[in-house]
Chain A
């Protein structure tokens, strides 16, 4: 268990550094689509929600299913609106 936690923390730390590197390169003109896109990515919690709602415990199913609902709004809405916005950015 401990070694697994350490591995996860290792992944976390590297991901944060990677995130900082990636995001600092995004130009300010794209910051709104960046936020809505990042928002959609944070809907990844949907993965956890699906696993919970597939359980056999009734309480877990209720909690998990509600989580699936909210997270999928986040994912679908987030990606679509980002796509819509980015479609507007044109160069002459």
Chain B
């Protein structure tokens, strides 16, 4: 049998494994096997590719596979769950640069060719390059190496416009004219422009919007692989790349909806750059009512339903294990305990769920805002732990607020709200929160972990 038929049949098998694997991610029960199926599809695709007769020397491939595998292994086993967004961000970047290199390698071999191939290489290098540097900036912002503040400057739109125009002209030269500048110069110019585009694309976006950016870059890394599939006319790259591209776009869309903002608004508005005029309103909002952990315990002890609303602050304080213990004690005390997770809680889609899963919170007690908001009046106590903007009533009540219209967890409708907070500073998005001044809100000041631990020891007391 012709080897290329075997290779292509194997690629089809790999595609099927990717598809079934993703399908099995539809339920937490089957998700892990789904991931294994997907991984075996990848293994199959890689092994059959290694059988390619055109491969002259295996030493470099083996070395690079081994080195990359080791780096990947350590990254995956050592990473803290709180740092998952950074890891996904940088991995998106690696995917992008790999596609860029594949596209470049093809271009170096045959720089003057039919427009379809040139167009595919152009897109691969462009998307791959901007994914790479964009992901590095996103990584920097998430790990706070770079300031999370949106970076805006005068003439930004002009510079971006000029950049896009140049990229377009290089494309025209590369695809249609072929020869205005030499192939090597064209390639170097295109890569540089793609890198600059990636930086300028992410740097104006604030840290609070990074979940959207990572989801989008995730999609781009898939699209880059997809474009590379057109370059080497390989079906499995196109199928897999398109699946990832679609996945990233859907997540991006979910994130935008959860914030009631358009993608254009997230990408171009520099959200949170100027602290809004609400700051002076804070004085008219009255005083907050603090409560001690001991008094909070008495209320919790009498509660028959408790809703825990975790935010990224809970993870920062490493309070999730204490929170899970408190939840179990409350359940033992006869209360119904649920965790309400807002789609933008945490720093990437689903981040909070992973952090709670790590702390052994069963996934069936995690609920979404639309499940819990209609029955909020029946909830005795809402415990807001390290969350801020996702419970801000301004999103419903104050048309002037920058987050107006964002779907929130309406904890202010419950009987009592405990807000665990270090101080009165505003949230990640820098917006005041009138929830703290509501008559049914009690502030539990202090480190979230200590506060929850005190509550736990009161229960055990």
Give A residues with C-beta under 8 Å from B.
Answer: 1-2, 4-5, 8, 11-12, 15-16, 18-20, 22-57, 59-61, 63-92
Contacts and interface: CB of A to CB of B under 8 A. Distances in A.
Contacts of A33: 25, 31, 35, 350, 354
A34 B251 contact: yes
Contacts of A84: 76-77
A77 B76 contact: yes
Contacts of B99: 45, 48, 67
Closest 6 CB pairs of A and B: A19-B246, A54-B55, A31-B350, A72-B68, A77-B72, A76-B72
B81 interface: yes
Given A15-B238, A18-B246, A20-B250, 15 more contacts: A26-B26, A31-B251, A35-B350, A39-B95, A40-B38, A41-B42, A46-B42, A46-B98, A47-B236, A48-B234, A54-B56, A74-B98, A84-B76, A88-B358, A92-B364
A81 B76 contact: yes
B148 interface: no
Contacts, number: 364
A16 B73 contact: no
Chain B contact surface mostly = helix
B189 interface: no
Interface of A is mostly: helix
B87 interface: yes
A47 B98 CA distance: 11
A30 B357 CA distance: 10
Interface residues of B, number: 110
28 contacts: A15-B239, A16-B246, A28-B341, A29-B363, A34-B350, A36-B91, A39-B221, A40-B39, A41-B42, A42-B240, A48-B234, A51-B49, A52-B102, A54-B56, A55-B105, A55-B109, A65-B64, A67-B98, A67-B105, A70-B95, A72-B67, A72-B69, A72-B72, A76-B68, A77-B76, A79-B38, A81-B87, A85-B357
Contacts of B363: 29, 89-91
B95 A43 contact: yes
Interface stretch (B198-206, B222-230, B392-400): B222-230
A55 B108 CA distance: 12
A39 B218 CA distance: 7
A47 to B, nearest CB: 5
A51 B54 contact: yes
Contact of B237 (A29, A37, A48, A53): A48
Contacts of B232: 48, 51
B230 A8 contact: yes
A68 B353 contact: no
A85 B101 contact: no
Contacts of B27: 27
Contacts of B19: 18, 22
B439 interface: no
A80 B230 CA distance: 28
A36 B90 CA distance: 11
A31 B61 CA distance: 33
Contacts of A91: 28-29, 362-364
